[in-house]
Amino acid sequence: MTARSRHSGAYSQAGVNIDAAQQTKERIKKLAASTFGPGVLSEIGLFGGLFEVKGFQEPVLVSSVDGVGTKLKLAAALDKYDTIGMDLVHHCVNDILTLGAQPLFFLDYIAMGHLHPEKVEGLVRGLALACRLAGCALVGGETAEMPGIYRGNDFDLVGFIIGVVSKGEIITGRKIVSGDVLLGLPSSGLHTNGYSLARRAFGLNRKDAASRLNQFYPELGRTLGEELLEPHRCYYPMLKPVLPLVKGLAGQCHPFTI
């Protein structure tokens, strides 16, 4: 018996599947590599990601971390995982956008009771797509299997983003004065906020949550699940051209002034 097989056997008795973890990593590598640009100096699998920052005068790094909240419960109920990967990236990109930052790279943390490579691949497919659209590299992350913490379909998804802005172009809101124009951009739905209330309002804490989510609503033109899983909108692409005119940005309702 090899050392690997002995370790795999010992871990499996503790509820951890080493082979599933390795398969998951292989699936993730290809998706993450699709987001790489010239600034990425490392490959997936190292203990840290390397990124070279160029083209900024007095560069200031801007960081943020966030999660998707109980919207994860809806994704699990419908067995659909790619859209919440997009949610996470868009949420984090929007957060650092409020300071005028350009997204550079992103890392994720995925934790489950038992690893399901196809589920993790769905999550990372959404992460990678959103990163590509925002010009952000998915340079690494952590995938954890913890049967003692997560039960059934429970899992967690967290994201960490690093962006950059020139020191003289940081948006703080301090230059806002009376008479400036206030504009509001429409959201694509609830984004990743208020899902505990939404789940309670629609009775989605019950065992029949999946059937309720698959119910078609004529006024929506689609099912409740499709409406509630609508991805968090990313405002960076549309605001990037006008950022020099923006004096302030607010994250939740996303109004800005010029």
Task: Report the CATH number that the domain containing residue 35 is assigned in CATH.
Answer: 3.30.1330.10
Q: What is the pLDDT of residues 174-194, one digit of tens each?
A: 999 999 999 888 888 889 888
Phi, psi (degrees; rounded to nearest 5) at 156: -135, 150
In contact, 81 and 156? CB cutoff 8 Å: no
Average of per-residue pLDDT across 216-243 = 94
Alpha carbon distance 232, 61 (integer Å): 24
Please tell me the pTM assigned to this model.
Answer: 0.85
Is 126 inside a domain boundary?
A: yes
Position 251 confidence tier, pLDDT thresholds 50, 70, 90: low
Is 178 inside a domain boundary?
A: yes
- Determine the structural domain holding residue 115 and report its residue range: 14-201+228-257
Phi, psi (degrees; rounded to nearest 5) at 122: -60, -45
Average pLDDT over the chain, rounded to whole?
88
Q: What is the pLDDT of residues 120-170, one digit of tens each?
A: 999 999 999 999 999 999 999 999 999 989 988 889 999 999 999 999 999
Q: What is the pLDDT of residues 16-71, one digit of tens each?
A: 667 777 777 787 888 999 999 999 988 887 788 889 998 888 999 999 999 999 99
Is 148 inside a domain boundary?
A: yes
The structural domain count of the chain equals 1
Is 9 inside a domain boundary?
A: no
Position 254 confidence tier, pLDDT thresholds 50, 70, 90: very low
List, in sequence order, every residue forming a beta bridge with 66; answer none if it has no partner: 159
Is 8 inside a domain boundary?
A: no
